[in-house]
Structure 1
Amino acid sequence: MPESDTTTLKTQYAARVAADLSQNTAEQERIQAEIEALQAQLASLEQDHELLVGMRSALGGETAEPKTVPAARRTVKKPGSATAKTTRTPSAKKTAPRKAAANKTPATGPAQKGPTLTDLVHQHLSGQTEPRTAAEIARALADAHPERNINDNLVRTTTERLVARSKVVRAKQGATVFYTTAQSAEDTAALKPAEAAA
């Protein structure tokens, strides 16, 4: 085979490998973003669960069963999904990353990523002097934390959870919903009588 043909063939293979590698990396990033979003949703559900259990307890309901059943379900699902899938897979290369991801995600994932989305939303609103929409909050947090998968729906859900905990106040103007911290709302309410008196 002429040297020029060999060079052309190598170039074609190199281009194909580079394209496959780029596609593989993009797919990994997409899946990682989905994992982070699911982690945030799971953390939100767990927090909601704790809040609901506390409310049920305050109303005189049972407390033991709601706490233990979801925890048991989680422990059954996680080992089943992680170990069952990995032991059935013959390739050691495929099982190692899955085990590493399974070990990293629940235990060290949120700790390494820093504050939760709930904390970020509350901190952001605490630093604002004017009410903000969920889209504005999401845009600001996405700019401040480009490594995290932050979208409008996730921020809206998280902010509504803060409203349920009385940490954030919701105000609707027409079709638009604005959010502010409960402390900011109290400060604004306290200023209005003073302004009226002046």
Structure 2
Amino acid sequence: MSSDTKGAGIKDDYAQQIAGDLSANHTAQDRVRGELQRLQEELSQLEDNSKILLKMQDALGVPATVKSATAPAAAKRSARRAAVPSARKASPAAEKSGEKAAEKAAEKAAASKTAAPAKVSRSRTTKAAGKTAAAKKDAVGPSWLELVTAVFAGQSEPRSAAEVTDSLSTTHPDRKVQAAVIRNTLEQGVARGLLERSKQGRSVYYLPTASPAAPAESTPTGPLS
């Protein structure tokens, strides 16, 4: 009794699996048929456009560069068209675009010749701007991160942001030192592992790490001059 029940359960499982595989197979067939029909329509439209372009070549007296399809190839296409619904003919818009293809090609060639000097001019302008920016960067001097870490060089005592700001104002009178910029730079040093942050009551102090790494070049976080 139990063996019959087990056998019936296995049979039902196989039947469900086969039904699912069959449904997936039919779905895949429908998808492939739809794709085949789409490709056939696209091929038919390209062939129609090719005929129009060949006529234009003949009218312009240009030697043909594309050979016409051979008889076996035409027979194969006819057989494929018989297997699927007939493709749509080329739309009037497609025919009109085909007739203007030669004119657009000539316009693009003329536009490319005109654009070439403009590209050269833009390239020279970009290079000049890059040189100017590099010169300005050299004139600015060390970054804020380099200046801030230099304040802690050879020291182990913690210092507040205000103390660092005052020290930089004294040692670098040519730079416009702002407290907000110095505070942000100190936090940047903490994030990079160059400084450590400590808190005493409501005050925040900074001190160099045990083995600080060399400060990397960074983009200033505020006005430099």
- Could you state the TM-score of these two structures normalised by the residue count of structure 1? 0.41
Structure with bigger helix share is 1
Q: Pick the structure with greater CA Rg.
A: 2
